[in-house]
Amino acid sequence: MPFAISRIVVCDTSKKVIALDWSYSNADGKVGNQWKLQQPYGDTPLASCTDSVLLGWLQEQLPNTPEDFDRQIADNKARAELQETLRDYTPHPSGPPTPVVMPAPVPPVNADVKTKKK
C-alpha cells in the first residue's frame, strides 16, 4: 500500500483523532507530512480507528493525488541524482578552474585501546 500512517494525534478530552502523520512511497522514494483532519472529526470511536479507516479519511481529505506524489518523488530523486554530480572548483585568474581536492579522512587514533601483556 503506497500510503501509511505512522502516528495519530488524539484529543484527550474528546478522544477524537485530530491529525495523522502519513507517508506515501513508491519504488523511487517516500514523501510524507502531518495532516490536520478537517472538522468535524465524526463519531467514530477511537477503538474503531483502524488503518483502513484512517487511510480513508486521509485520502478523502488530502488535496494531492498519488500521481502528484509520484511526480514529487521523481523530482526529489532527480534533484538528488543531480546533486551527486556537482563538484566544487577553484577559479584561477591565469588559468582554468581546478577541482577542489578534499583530504582523505584520517581514522581517529584510539588511545583507550590496551594491548595484552605477555
7-31 mean pLDDT: 94
Domain residue limits, the chain? 3-83
Tens of pLDDT, residue by residue over 27-82, are: 999 999 999 998 766 678 888 999 999 999 999 999 999 999 999 999 999 999 99
Could you please report the per-residue DSSP string of 39-107? SP--S--GGG--HHHHHHHHHHH-SS-HHHHHHHHHHHHHHHHHHHH---EEEETTEEEEEPPPPPPPP
pLDDT-derived band at 105, boundaries 50, 70, 90: confident
Q: What percent of the chain has pLDDT over 90?
A: 69
Look up the pTM and report it: 0.71
82-97 mean pLDDT: 93
